[in-house]
Structures are given as C-alpha cells and as structure tokens.
Structure 1
Amino acid sequence: MTEESRRTAVERPPLGRPGGLDTGLTRLGLCSVTFRRLPAAEVARRAANAGLEVIEWGADVHAPAGEPGTIRAVREVSDRYGLACCSYGSYFRATRAELAAFPAVAQAAVVLGAPRVRVWAGGTGSRSVLPDERYETVLCLREAARIAADHGLELAPEFHGGTLTDTVASTLRLLDEVGADNVRTYWQPPQDTPDEEALAGLVELGDRVTAVHVFSWWPGHNRLPLADRWDLWAPALGLLAGRGVEALLEFVPGDDPAVLAREAQTLRRAADQSPSGQT
C-alpha cells in the first residue's frame, strides 16, 4: 500500500458506508460506459449539466488501471465538474490469472476518489459452474476484498448473468462464502424478468445492495426511455430510499447523449417518490 493510498484510506468513511450513507439519501449518477465513445471530459460535462451528482468511471475506456496519467486526468475532470466518483467500474473477473493485477485496480480507485470497486464474480453462471471453479472464485474475491480493505475500499460484484451473481440466491450465498465486511453487491433488473419478480429479488437482497444500475430494457436488449418502466423503477427507488445507495444510469436509448437530461429527470422523479407513491 503506497503512502498516497494510506493517506486517502484514513480520510474515507468507514467501510460499508460508501456514497450517501451518512445522510441516507440516494445519490443519482451515471456509468461512464453509457457513453464509451465520448471523451471523459464530455461525459462529465453532460452528467453535471443533467444535474447528476456521482459517476462510476469504467476501466475499459475512460480510466484503465494501467494508465496512471489517464486516471489522474479523469479525477481532475470529475473535480472540475463537481462530480464525486462513487465507484470504479473494473472488469476484474476474480480469477487466479487476474489476481496479481488487482492492487493496481485498487490504487486506481484510490486516485479517482472512489470508495468502491465494482468487480465480476467469475465467468460462469451459477447453474453451470463446477464446485472447484466456484471455490476458486470465492477465494479470489476474498483476497481482492482483503486488498480493497487495505486501501479503504469496498468491493461489489455486478449482479449479472454469466457470473455467480446471476440470481439472488447465488448472490447471497456468494456474499456469505466470501465473508468480508467490505463486500456487498450491485443490483439491476434481470433481463426479461417481470417487475414484481425483479422487485421481490431486490427486497430479498436488502441492505446488501450498495448501488443499482438503472436502465429500461424490454423485451431483451430493446432500450426504452426510463419512463416506460416507471412501474419498476419508482418502486425500486422507493425500496432503496434511506439506505444511502447510488442509482446509476446506464445504457440509455440509442446510446444518445442528447437523451441524458430527460433520463436523469425521470430518475430524479422516481427517487423523489415516497414509498406510498406520493411526492
């Protein structure tokens, strides 16, 4: 752990309390991967102009862990536009082959000012994974969690198909198997899952959810305006109210930057709903 990492870790809130948990407010933001083709400065400018508070910088295009100069420049961009980096969107798959590179991922998160690293829980779905592969993924996540904790970071696998967090049951099992206080999970609506079933899963995950990826797909990968799935997202944001999580827009229709302000406004309206549905 470098001196910069140690100093930043001391300044962070306690583990397990990232984002807006001090106030309990849901912070609204953007995943930078939504606009992969835009420069980081343009992504940040548009997010700020849309009234968003936080950003999850992706490691694939905008903030690669192996490019410290780029990471510092992205941090400067975030600061310039008044955006907090709520998480570092890594693509660490929790395999032995990738474990040696994870300290660089953690260091990149520190420089970005992110309290959390998003990871992937292996590369095989829970229904087809073999016991030995699942065990190795657990061990790798446990070691990554230890490294993250040394840097003052939380670790959170994406709730995603083709990984061990592809179902609620497998996600809860995985979190228990890893057994680290600084590991929680993302949530997003499973593809083609009816609203009531998706919301029931969110309820079951409870306070183990640290952030959600917000998008409106139906059916399949068909991208709709967020308002078209209001009956999913207004209740979902109601369930998350008071927990201090982040709701992060991802995959807007047509990957069109021009619709971001509209989508952010819909997200804000959903977040402003009380559990009874009254503003």
Structure 2
Amino acid sequence: MSSGPSQVTVTAATAAGVCLLTAIGTLDSSTYLELRDSVIKAALDEPSAVLVDVSRLTVPAASAWSVFTSARWHVSTWPDIPILLVCPQTEVAARITSTGVTRYVAVHADVESAMASLAHGPHPRRRARIELPHRLSSLRGSRDFVSEWLTNWSQGLLIPTAKVIVDVLVENVLHHTESAPVVVLENDHSMVTIAVQDTNGSPAVLREGIGGGPEWASGLAVVGALCRAWGSSPTPNGKTVWAVLGPENRL
C-alpha cells in the first residue's frame, strides 16, 4: 500500500516583535513551495525577524533545506527581514550547515540564542503607515504623507521622486481595486522604501507598448525607471507593491 502525500503544517506565534514559526512534517518536493511561501508571508507582515523551529521536520533529501535560502532571497530586497532557524539537534544543525544554507540563514540551538543574535543586528528602520480612503483625494494625501515623513527623517532630497512613485502606486490601487490603499514608508540609513498595500491578490504587472501610443509608458514603467528596485509581493490578504530608493534616485 502506497503512503499518502507528504504534509507540512506551520503554526505561528509572536514574541517581542518576532514571528516564531514551527514547521512540522516532511519537507520534500511536494511541500517545498508551501513551506517557502509560509515563511515569505510571515516576513511580509514585517516583524523584526522570522524564526523557524525546524526540529520537527523530516527532510529526506538534504537539498530541500534550500527552501529557507529561497525564502530569504524573495524578501532580501524588501522587506529585508532576517530569517533564522532554530534547531537543538546538533547533528541536524550540522547537516543544514553542510548544505551552505547558513551562509544566508543562520541556525541556532534555541530561541533564546537566536533572539540574542538579533541584538547585534542593524539599527531598526524607521517606519510610518497610513490607511487612506478609496477616493481620488487620497492621491494628494499620500503625497503629503510622504513629504512630511521624509522631511522629518532628513531625506528631503528624495521627496520629489517619492511623490511620483507613491502617486503611481496609490492611483493603481484606486483604479484597479476596490481597496482602501495603505501606504507604508520606511527609512534605513540612505535608503527609502515606499510600499502600498491593497486587498486584491492579483500581482502588479508591468505593461508596456499599450495605451497612448509609442511614447506612452505605464505607471509601473515610470516607477521602474525612478527607483533602485521594485516588486509586487503577495500577502495573506492581498498584495504589497513596493519600491526602494537610494541616493542615486534623486530628481
């Protein structure tokens, strides 16, 4: 009699701003994407870090541990949340290390040591958030929000670029969804990230060559030209479209 398909269950808890995931089951080719997406979605909620307890995972092929490298890669540009593994079994931790995963995702013997390692990490990012109504006046509201906070954070030279980008992202929400746009602004040293959340799960897609003629460009094409990187990330309740600005993106 053949056995049933592999299964992985992931439970989540929160402590001190950190998301604690516990993965139970078999990690193989049939559960790889499910586990990866669970870790990515936890990171997109922007805790200070995501800790994954892997002590109750069965991993027949060592290559499957790369699921955590893949998850980290997907969130490395934004929101750039640390992902750490917790594994008290020294032989399993050594197996994880031998795959090269720990070059990108550290493994710790317990939650306490993982939490302690975060204290030596980078300075916390500054962050501001506003939910705007689903109406055209929110375009001005989003630009005013960006201008106010970037002024407070001494990032005034990025305000012109940031206003253009937030205008495009909020306008897309108003035009393509029924959502109330949520604007999240972050500042990490010289970088600024603008993220706009909505409750529509369809990813933002760059469309070129359609619309108003050969010189026409979609709003997202403008965003891509003005920022260091941008993307559309799924969330449990929709998606977040984000753009990262550096000093080179000043207008």
Which structure is higher in RCO with an 8 Å CA cutoff and minimum separation 6?
Answer: 1
Larger radius of gyration: 2
TM-score by length of 2: 0.32
Per residue, is there more strand in 1 or in 2? 2
Per residue, is there more helix in 1 or in 2? 1
TM-score by length of 1: 0.30
